[in-house]
Amino acid sequence: MFQPVYEEIRQMTIAKVLDFYDHEIRQLDETARQEKYDKMSLSPFRFFRGSSHLFYYDVTRIPLGFDTPQDKPTWIQGDLHFENFGVHGNAKGEIIYDVNDFDEGYLGSYLYDLIRMAVSVRLFAEEAGYDPTPAIRNYILEYLHDLKKYALGKDPSDVCFTRDNTKGPIKKLIKKAEKKREELMGERTELVDGVRRFCTLPDMEAIDDATRAAIETAWSSYIETIDVDDRRDESFYTIKDIVRKLDSGTASIGLERYYILIEGEGGEEDLILEMKQAQTSVPSLFLPIYRPEAETVHQGRRIITSQKAMQAHEDPYLGYLTIGEKEYYVRERSPYKKKLKAKHIKSQEDLENVLCIQGQITAKVHARADQDAGIKEKVLTHHADVEIIQAIGVSDTAFLEQIERWSEAYVTRTKLDYQVFLEWVKTRKTN
């Protein structure tokens, strides 16, 4: 009986939140907004992926048990979900499986990462036809098991996930990625009169002379932001070609992204870098500012600092730059870039194995990105792992049950919101 009233109220909320974020914050034009909403309309999971701002609007309004003190936050990934883990290379030449998106990195409650992840697992598993409950249990228990070890003094910087210490779909994905380095250049570039250039592909388009000139003019400022220990001679970063990258993920629609081919070591050692527009993180719109000097900086700097804090031996090409009023960050377009999709999960056992490793990774990034973070900026001066374990207390079971309840409740909310969203999208199209 109350359902129509709920739908009316919720549609007003969804419309207000999406209008504010997509129009005011992201400044998406109507074409980009429609593209984003079309993708979000494909499934509840896609809707959830594209509406992190709605998630934070909801969960930050509710007091959460097991939370750490407000003055002892965790450096969170900020948009943790099943598909924001993937394969890439690190500075040691290892091919690793880890968190692969740091655009929303911020300081806040560790619970936001865990709840958002658990919700995504439920949605993903249900779409794929698997039981999410044991998978979430594996994720949380592995997270707690490893976090306790870090709280007792184990160094999270020594932990990475390779083909040697993974199994199931993740191990298979890493093995496939090991064969990709040579393939990337062959897929994305070609030799024209002895000079390597980007190919003509549906997801890449040529840029105009003004855009190229603007990037080239700002390029030296990017080089200056690379860590001194990683920085090479300026000739190493000589730009050979630039294209605009199309077909972004749901949450990245409307953000400018470029592939930049650089000289590298010379000869056949060219490299492809990715330059992506950076914007204000979604959590920052809803969470209190803990360290203004660290959280209100250049947004590209915030993103790469988040990656450096969460990963040891991070990408040696991380840097940032400004062109006009737009801020960007730069990283290597990893030749090993791969992520798990539904097609890679062949059984319930596969899903549960994956969630074990993802739980371990989450513990590692939360434990490292604190006082232990090997970065110049001392953003956090406490041990987040110790604070989290103290907040949870003695009952892992009670904590697990609470995460299960929160995620189940929010999945119900997400499914209802998805239907409301579909009706709202129809209204937008007819107006």
CA dihedral 186, 179, 80, 128 (to 10 degrees): 100
Find the mean pLDDT for residues 77-99.
90
CA gap 274, 259 in Å, rounded: 5
Residue closest to 355 by CA, chosen among 77, 175, 122, 173? 122
On whether the CB atoms of residues 386 and 151 are closer than 8 A, the answer is: yes
pLDDT tens column, 181-227: 667 777 888 888 888 899 999 999 999 999 999 999 999 999 999 99
Phi, psi of 365 (to 5 degrees): -70, -35
Please tell me the total number of residues recorded for the chain in this structure: 431
CA gap 318, 225 in Å, rounded: 8
Report whether pLDDT(378) > 90. Answer: no
Pull the structure tokens for residue 398. Answer: 């009670």
pLDDT tens column, 37-83: 999 999 999 999 999 999 999 999 989 999 999 899 999 999 999 98
CA gap 192, 430 in Å, rounded: 48
Phi, psi of 335 (to 5 degrees): -70, -15
On whether the CB atoms of residues 310 and 135 are closer than 8 A, the answer is: no
Percent of the chain past pLDDT 70, that is, above it, reads 96
pLDDT tens column, 227-237: 998 999 999 99
Give the helix/strand (H/E) hosting 257. Answer: strand 257-262
CA gap 15, 274 in Å, rounded: 33
Phi, psi of 367 (to 5 degrees): -75, -35
CA dihedral 296, 301, 305, 311 (to 10 degrees): 140
pLDDT tens column, 336-345: 888 888 888 9
The whole-number pLDDT of residue 139 equals 98
Find the mean pLDDT for residues 301-315.
89
pLDDT bin (cut points 50, 70, 90) of residue 278 is very high
CA gap 262, 197 in Å, rounded: 10
The whole-number pLDDT of residue 291 equals 74
Instruction: List, in order, residues 6 or more apart from 57 with CB less than 8 Å away.
Output: 13, 17, 286
Residue closest to 186 by CA, chosen among 194, 174, 196, 195? 196
Beta strands in 199-246 (DSSP E): 204-206, 239-245
Give the helix/strand (H/E) hosting 408. Answer: helix 396-430
Report whether pLDDT(1) > 60. Answer: no
- From residue 324, alpha-carbon distances to 217, 258, 280, 327 in Å are 11, 16, 17, 8
The whole-number pLDDT of residue 179 equals 75
Report whether pLDDT(430) > 70. Answer: no
Q: Which residue has the tokens 């036809």?
A: 129
Phi, psi of 316 (to 5 degrees): -75, 0
Angle between helices 30-40 and 396-430 (to 10 degrees): 130
User: Average model confidence (pLDDT) for the chain?
Assistant: 90
Half-sphere exposure of 340 (CA within 13 A, CB side): 30
CA gap 174, 383 in Å, rounded: 31
The whole-number pLDDT of residue 295 equals 63
